[in-house]
Amino acid sequence: MRVKQYGTQEAAKFFAALFLNRQAQWPAFALIVGASIWGVIWYPLRQLAALGLSGALAVALIGLAACCFALIAFRQPLLESWRIILTQAAPKGSSYWLLPILGVTAGMSNVSIIWGMIHGEVIRVLLLFYLSPVWTAFFAHWLLRERVTLVDMAAALCALIGTALILWSPELGFPIPTVLAEWAGLFAGIGFALQNVLALKISRTLPVQTPQLRTTIVFAGDMVVGFLICGFEWMRGSLMSAPLTQPGFAFILLIGLGILLAANSLLIQYGLSRMPANRAALLMLFEIVVTAISTWLLAGETLGWREVSGGGAIVAASLLSSWFQQQERVAHQAVP
């Protein structure tokens, strides 16, 4: 396969368009704010864990609060989507079952990443989560029939090298996650990739895809999956990590997080719908910066050379993949 060579001039135009285009300023601001919120969300979740709520129960209750907010705030769009589901058959080659599958996938991903951040080193868990572009390429090939290009494989290799740098140590040998929190971050990234591909398939094939519907489905998935895991924790006797203290404060924090995350989801979707995917991917990586600073200030976590170099490789893989995909789309559009 012949890959077109792009020089520094094209790269400079790309970054100039990202930061200097006035039409992109508000969507860019929305994505930066959304990424920043996700970069600090681990802290109130750890506060809930310290109050005695398990990670799964916290996710379930936050999902419940977010769903209630969404049902009130988005009542008309949701009713219209429900009317279409009841009165119109799904197009050939698709199914309305994709909607609950999307919710369950999102719930499993969110429960995993939050559990990992509560019980592990936040930045390591997040970097493993950001392997999601690797899995996205293969899920897109499987579900959307998109071809896996040499650029996709090169980006995947770069990201995997970065992961090996983060996880490798002479004492432990082969670089694989060594604690459950790191496995949770890795699994969450796989689920997040599948969630995004499913959402793209729904938007292409079903007539009911709206940002409000997607937001509600995602938080409903958090609620259902969270409560199911709570059932297993209850059977094992580990549902409450400690006697619940300050229940009033915990209740207020749960309600506030539910409303905040529902609003933040819409904010991010506003930015994603008004910016090219490659630029949006770059801005969403701001979450890593905010997470690194917040964990250093609030949890005393520091980054060693392996985390910095490995995280840099993962970020570079994501950026290169997004930029080359945009250049390929431009080249294809230019062909008469």
- List the one residue out of 127, 124, 181 whose CA is nearest residue 314: 127
- List the one residue out of 271, 290, 282, 283 whose CA is nearest residue 320: 282
Does residue 280 contact residue 31 with C-beta atoms inside 8 Å?
yes
d(CA 283, CA 21): 14
Does residue 131 contact residue 159 with C-beta atoms inside 8 Å?
yes
Determine the pLDDT at residue 44: 92
pLDDT over threshold 70, residue 8: no
pLDDT over threshold 80, residue 205: yes
pTM for this predicted structure: 0.79
pLDDT tier, 165 (very low <50, low <70, confident <90, very high otherwise):
confident
- List the one residue out of 187, 32, 201 whose CA is nearest residue 102: 201
How many CB atoms lie under 10 A from the CB of residue 297?
A: 11
d(CA 63, CA 127): 24
What mean pLDDT do residues 168-182 have? 70
Percent of the chain with pLDDT over 90: 12
Boundaries of every domain in the chain? 29-334
d(CA 103, CA 207): 17
